[in-house]
Amino acid sequence: MTKPIVILDRDGVINQDSVDYIKSPEEWVAIPGSLEAIALLHQNQFRVFVATNQAGIGRGIYSEETLKQIHQKMCHQVEAVGGNIEGIVYCPHHPDDNCLCRKPKPGMLQQIAGYGDIHHRPFVGDSPTDIEAALAANCNPILVLTGAGRQTARSIPPTVEQYPDLLAFAEHLVATRLD
């Protein structure tokens, strides 16, 4: 049996978000419990992927090399607590580029579908664009109330599952796992 996929947004879900972008590895700070959540998912046979808009590249605020360093830091910290992120996909485009990968479009999620079934699998986010992308890709949208989640909760359908944070979601998923 293949391990089920769980897809996570990055900023506001795994790490603290900033209106000024996360521009360096030093600015990347994990949300309490998020690294442990990823470890819990990994240790319970879930494949964890990250799908993240990174318009700071398209805006010239930071480079793809800097983003690579930020992701290396994130992955090292996840591995240090016994977790694993199997893959990271990102959209480097400016919001005005009208690309197919920038959330709310489902392009990044469709890329992840190349690694396994994503239909009805969780996509955890904190913004309306995350919820829209999940629905467009036929994933199960999950809202966490970290990052922009509390504000987002006011504007999304009440049928979208909500959790206080990524760890609460991971604990629930592991406890109720139905493959």
Pairing of strands 161-163, 5-8: unpaired
Is 11 noted as a catalytic residue in this protein? yes
Is 20 noted as a catalytic residue in this protein? no
Starting at the earlier edge strand, list the strands of the sheet with 87-91. Answer: 87-91, 47-53, 5-8, 122-125, 140-144, 161-163
CA 47 → CA 18, 50, 127, 160, distances in Å? 27, 10, 22, 22
Active site positions, annotated: 9, 11
